[in-house]
Every structure is written in C-alpha cells, then in structure tokens.
Structure 1
Amino acid sequence: MGAERDEIRWGIIGCGNVTELKSGPAFNKVAGSSLLAVMRRDAEKLADYAERHGVPKTYTSADALINDPEIDAIYVATPPGSHREYALKIASANKHCCLEKPMALNFAECEEIATAFEGLDAQLFVAYYRRSLPRFNKVKEWIDSGRIGTVRHINWSYARGPSAADLSPEYDWRTDPAVSGGGHFVDLACHGLDLFMHLAGDISEAKGIAVNQQNLYDAEDAVSACWVFDGGATGAGFWNFGASDYCDEVVVYGAKGNIRFSVFANQPLVLEAGEDCAITEIPHPENIQFFHIENMVKHLNGVGQHPVAGAEGGKASRVMDQILAGFR
C-alpha cells in the first residue's frame, strides 16, 4: 500500500447496533481518522444510517466496499461467522482490517486469518477495546508497578438473568453457535479473558465445564472454568445467564494485596494492599471504542503500538475453545 496517509479513511462492513454509539461515531472523532463508507445489505437501513452519521459513501456489496481505492482500512462489524470470509478478502486487497470480537468462530479460523496478513503492509486488529480503555490501563499500572505484589490468581464472577431476546421465539444470532461461535459466554467472556492476558500474560492452559440449564437455545448458558497463566498465576471464573441477580466482579489476588473491578459496569476500581489503598473512578467514554480506534490510527501512522494486533486477537478464542471443548 506504500506510505501511510496522515488520515486513515475507513469503511464499515455491517453497520448494525454495535456501530451506532460504541464505535461508528468515533471513527470521525479520532484525529487522523474519517469514516468514508458503510456497507449493509438492507438498502433502506443503510441509507438511514449514512444520513444520520454523515457518511458520504454507501454500499450494499461488501466486495465493492473492500475494493474501493479510496478506502484504507475496513472495520468488520458483522457476526463472527462471516469474519473469516471478509478478513481473507480484505487481506487479498492488502488493506488494513479490524474485526469485531471474537476474532472468528474458533481458533483455527483465527490462525487462518492471522496467517493471511503475515508479510503484508496491511495490518490486522481485533476490537478487544478494553485493553485501550483508561480504566483498565490504571489496573495494569497498579499491577505492573508492584502495588499488589506478584499476581497469584484472577477470579471473575459473572451472572445475569435471561434477556428479552432469550425468552422470545424470534431468531437471535447471538445464541446460534453456527453464526456466533456459541452463546453469551462467547460473546461476553472473550472481553474479560483477553483483558486478563493483557494484565497477567498469556493463558497457557484452560479447562471448563459448560451446560445448557434453561433450554432456551442451543448454546451453553452456564460455564465454569479454570486456567493457568504462563507466569504460573492461576485463574477461575463462572458465567451464568439464568440467574436472578446481576453480578460482574473481578478480583486480582496478589502476594501483597488485591484489586477489584468490573469488566462491563462503570464501577470503581479498588486497590487494597495493607495501608496502600485506592478507590478510583474512571468512567467509560461516550464511544467506548474511541481509544481503541485512536490506537489503531497511531499504529498505522507509526507513532504507537496497538495492544491487539495480528495473531494477538486470536488468543481469547483459543482459551474459549479449550473451555467449551466438552460441550461442543
């Protein structure tokens, strides 16, 4: 592709709900970035999205958007089942690519995608945006500075009741394993598992038990797992999508203290290490992918390093494959 432009011109494939507030507007808010085109098969919804967000170009064909010579980078915001197809086409066009999470249906597809980008000028990213959020950068700063000592264990407890979509007879791709790769566990837990590897190093081995307790859909709705990090720290978690009460709490246990936080909620970050205590509130930005997009633009312009580039984005999928091996 030659030298990178000062402004990265983006196209989006799949302008659904995730792009309305979480990501879409941020492509125009980040310095050196602009949203040039969007693609959606439904022409009426496509035109409405483009008008509301001020996007100059629209396509009902993904291939046409990918091959638009004015587009430098493409954000794939479709369900995971189509990520491999689009990513391989984007790699063939030698254009930068950002895939929504999880990176693909399974780790084998992630490896195929990463291999396709090896040796290209084009860069590959995955939207594990929590690695770029200031609130989790603060947690990493606390850990890396030794305030809780060596990390010994990370525990995540997550529970919630069934959603309206779970209880509806209408089709929901999020709980169709052929399209999403699994159920809500795959959709949500990948965020935390990726974040934990950012905080404590790669997970070398994971095991899990998954069941379907409610029989509302074909995918798992209750999962328990344990894992070990390369450095020897351990981890465990449970995720239940049929519980009466909401819970989202992570505890990082260290040799000298611990840190508590929530993966999804705007809860305070709490550090407790003897007399060294801190409670910090760092809210999510209006567009939660803003800092992730900013880091991609910096990476592409050679002034920074995105934390989830290349094969890094497939590591959470490898862990989830191990956890769900028995259920699948």
Structure 2
Amino acid sequence: MIKNDVIKIGLIGLGGMANAHRTMISELDQLDIGTLCDVNEELLNTVGDKEGIDQKKRFNDMEALISDGDVDAVISIVPNHLHAKVIELCIKHQKPILAEKPFTLNFEEAEELKMRYEKQPIPCMVGFSYRYTPSFRYARELIQQGKIGRVRHVAVRYLQSFGAPIYEMPFVWRFDKPYTGTGALGDLGAHMIDIARYMIGEFQSVSAMMDTFVHERKSPVSGEMKEVQVDDYASFMAVLDNNIPANFITTRNAIGSGNQHEVTVYGDLGTLHVNCERPYEIDICIIENKEEGASFVTKKVSDKYKRQQLQDFADLVAGAKQEGTPDFYDGYQNQKVLERIIESAESGRMIQID
C-alpha cells in the first residue's frame, strides 16, 4: 500500500534513457524518486547527488531496491536481457512497475512471466511511449470516429541512421545478441507493432524478412572486431483485425532519418499521416466532394491530446488505470508478434498469430 499521496519511485538503470524519465518524474507532483540502482558506482553517485538521494538508498543490486520497504513503485530502464528479471522480481515482491520495451528478450521469457503474473498480478505498464505522441492519439480518435471511413490498409515505418557504416558505430550492447535479443526489430519494430495494435487492432498473421548489413563492429573496450548477429533491417507484411493489410519497415541504416516513426492509414473516405518528429501536426486528406478531388492539408493538433506517459503510470499505481495504458498483456502480445516475425523471416513462410 502507498503510505501517502506521493508515490516513492525506485529507479533502476541510470543510463541515457533514465534522464528522460527523471525529467518526466520531476513534472508530476504524484511521483518522487527515493531510491536508485545501477551497477556503475560512479554514475550511481553522480545521479544520487543530483537527486539528493541518501547513500543508504543507492543500490547496486536491483532486488535490494525492489524489496526495499520505502519503494512504492519501480521504473526500470535496463538492457533487454534484464527486462524479464526485473518484472519477475516485482511480481515476487508485489511492486508496481513501468518496464521498458521490448517486453522480454524472447517469447519463452514472456510465457514464463505470464504464468507468474497470473498467479500474483501487479500493476504493470510497458514503456510504449509513442502512445503518448499527441498526433498519434488524435489519429486514433479520428479512426475510431470513422472520419476516414472503413480502414483499408496501413503503412508503418520506423527509420534511424546511427547504424549506417559511415558513422562507425561501435559494438555496444544493442548489437550484442545475448544482451539485446534482436536488433532493429526489437528496438524499433516493437514500437511499430504496438502503435498498430493501439490504432488499428490485433495481428492475425505476419510474413517477414530480416537482414544484417554491417557484420562486424569494433569493440569500444578491446578494439577488436566483433561479429554482429542481430538485424539491421526488418520488414514485414501483416494482416490485422478485420483483415486489414499492413506493411512495416524498420532499419537503423537509413541515412537522413533521425528518429522517423511514421504511420499512414488509408480509409474509404480519406488518409491520415502522422510522424513522431512532428508531434503536434497531422496530415489529413478527406474527400469532401468527390467531384473536386481531395488533397492533403496539415492540421495543428490540440494540446488536449497531450498526456504525460508517467501520469498514466501514477494513475495505474493509484488504482485508476486510464484507457489505452499499455499494460502487461500489451507487452506479452507484442513479444508474441516479435517471435512470429522472427519465425517467419527464418522459415520464409507466412506465420499465423495465435
């Protein structure tokens, strides 16, 4: 039970993404960081000093943080191979958690977690952050209201460029299969899968291909070349609910793309296009008069579609879950689709989603 109106957060993992979470926490009166955990002692103390965290509340062991009686809820930003372990420990100690995507390293871990979770459920949110992009939320509402008529097909892309050879990106954990599981697919593709489920519906089947473009990268520690066994590129066709076809492309080797996550939805009466790099704009083409044709216009998205991701987490912990909050089962289903995509790419066959 939360002892007061402020939810004391235990933050696990203090790398780059933790900075964004720390900022979001600071924006909400309901949340306060009380405990930290990281294996990097120097980083732990640097962040601890900035946040004013008592030395006794700085941990190197994540179970020590999770089991701490002063921790009301956990936010975890750790590499993929630890995702399942953190959720498992939170189930064990009955602590609410905001976990990062992908949900787990593989679907086998997801199935094991599901069995544990169903015996001892906890408030669990998964960090599918693009549900909180205002233009994506507005597009979803327009689709639900039937503004573009019956949805016929969907195109989703998530393109970045940091993995392209010219940038000589070293062999960091995102390229190391035991730590990351997959490459672009789990890193970026998980977001594509979630936004399609959020806007349109469940996946029925997938047909996929995956490729690795850069087969060796230099270790930043030893300087030796290390083999890359994860994908730089993934594309897949899918059939969504109501037999809606959709195509997806993701890569970290797209020169000129910074963080280009975009969705185009085609309906009988019009088309919507959104891009996370323009969070307060939506491109709309709706037929008003078929005799005059139709063209795209760019509309500003109202601030009413803005919602802070951690506000939903605070509400979830407080027992007031909001519609659309990505929960445990969203993470589980996402991991199942990822598994079927890998299976399809390896077999060269279309794979049904259970």
Instruction: Judge same fold: TM > 0.5, yes or no.
Output: yes
C-alpha distance in 2 between matches for 1:304 and 1:222: 35
| CA spacing shift, 1:92–1:84, aligned 2, 3 Å | same
| CA spacing shift, 1:312–1:169, aligned 2, 3 Å | closer
Structure 2 unaligned spans of 5+: 217-227, 289-293, 348-354
In terms of mean alpha carbon deviation, does 193-202 or 51-60 score higher?
Answer: 51-60
C-alpha distance in 2 between matches for 1:319 and 1:225: 11
Aligned equivalent of 1:241, options 249, 252, 264: 252
Q: Is 1:223 matched up with 2:241? A: no
Name the counterpart of 2:32: 34
Aligned pairs (5 A) from 1:101-116? 101-116=101-116
Name the counterpart of 1:62: 62
C-alpha distance in 1 between matches for 2:301 and 2:32: 27
Tell me, yes or no, if the aligned pair for 1:266 and 1:283 is still in contact at 8 Å.
Answer: no
Aligned equivalent of 2:283, options 252, 266, 270: 270
One-letter code of the match for 1:8? Answer: I
Aligned equivalent of 2:337, options 316, 319, 322: 319
Tell me, yes or no, if the aligned pair for 1:110 and 1:311 is still in contact at 8 Å.
Answer: no
In terms of mean alpha carbon deviation, does 217-226 or 49-58 score higher?
Answer: 49-58
Name the counterpart of 2:142: 142
The count of residues paired between Structure 1 and Structure 2 equals: 322
Cα deviation digits, residues 103-143 of structure 1 (max 9, x gap): 11122322322332225362111111222333321111111
C-alpha distance in 2 between matches for 1:65 and 1:166: 41
| CA spacing shift, 1:130–1:240, aligned 2, 3 Å | closer
C-alpha distance in 1 between matches for 2:163 and 2:46: 27
Cα deviation digits, residues 195-253 of structure 1 (max 9, x gap): 11001111122120111233242211122201111222111022233344436542111
One-letter code of the match for 2:309? Answer: H
Q: Secondary structure at the match of 1:259?
A: strand
Tell me, yes or no, if the aligned pair for 2:10 and 2:36 is still in contact at 8 Å.
Answer: yes
Tell me, yes or no, if the aligned pair for 1:165 and 1:172 is still in contact at 8 Å.
Answer: no
C-alpha distance in 2 between matches for 1:244 and 1:140: 29
Tell me, yes or no, if the aligned pair for 2:133 and 2:279 is still in contact at 8 Å.
Answer: no
In terms of mean alpha carbon deviation, does 211-220 or 239-248 score higher?
Answer: 239-248
Q: Secondary structure at the match of 2:308?
A: helix
Aligned equivalent of 2:299, options 280, 304, 308: 280
C-alpha distance in 2 between matches for 1:209 and 1:113: 28
Aligned pairs (5 A) from 1:161-310? 161-163=161-163, 168=168, 170-216=170-216, 217-246=228-257, 248-263=261-276, 266=279, 268-275=281-288, 279-282=298-301, 291-305=308-322, 307-310=325-328
Aligned equivalent of 1:49, options 26, 47, 50: 47
C-alpha distance in 2 between matches for 1:160 and 1:170: 16
C-alpha distance in 2 between matches for 1:166 and 1:184: 18
Structure 1 unaligned spans of 5+: none
TM-score (norm 2): 0.82
Q: CA deviation at 1:25?
A: 2.2
One-letter code of the match for 1:261? Answer: V
TM-score (norm 1): 0.88
Structure number with greater Rg is 2
Name the counterpart of 1:117: 117
In terms of mean alpha carbon deviation, does 235-244 or 122-131 score higher?
Answer: 235-244
Q: Secondary structure at the match of 2:195?
A: helix
Q: CA deviation at 1:147?
A: 0.6
In terms of mean alpha carbon deviation, does 262-271 or 99-108 score higher?
Answer: 262-271
Tell me, yes or no, if the aligned pair for 1:133 and 1:291 is still in contact at 8 Å.
Answer: no
In terms of mean alpha carbon deviation, does 300-309 or 155-164 score higher?
Answer: 155-164
C-alpha distance in 2 between matches for 1:3 and 1:108: 33
Q: CA deviation at 1:311?
A: 1.5
Q: CA deviation at 1:169?
A: 7.1
| CA spacing shift, 1:169–1:258, aligned 2, 3 Å | closer
Q: CA deviation at 1:155?
A: 0.5
C-alpha distance in 1 between matches for 2:310 and 2:22: 10
Q: CA deviation at 1:310?
A: 2.0
Q: Secondary structure at the match of 2:214?
A: coil
C-alpha distance in 1 between matches for 2:164 and 2:50: 27
Cα deviation digits, residues 37-82 of structure 1 (max 9, x gap): 1101111111101222344431122121111101011111101101
| CA spacing shift, 1:4–1:130, aligned 2, 3 Å | farther
Tell me, yes or no, if the aligned pair for 1:130 and 1:195 is still in contact at 8 Å.
Answer: yes
In terms of mean alpha carbon deviation, does 175-184 or 92-101 score higher?
Answer: 175-184
| CA spacing shift, 1:3–1:167, aligned 2, 3 Å | closer
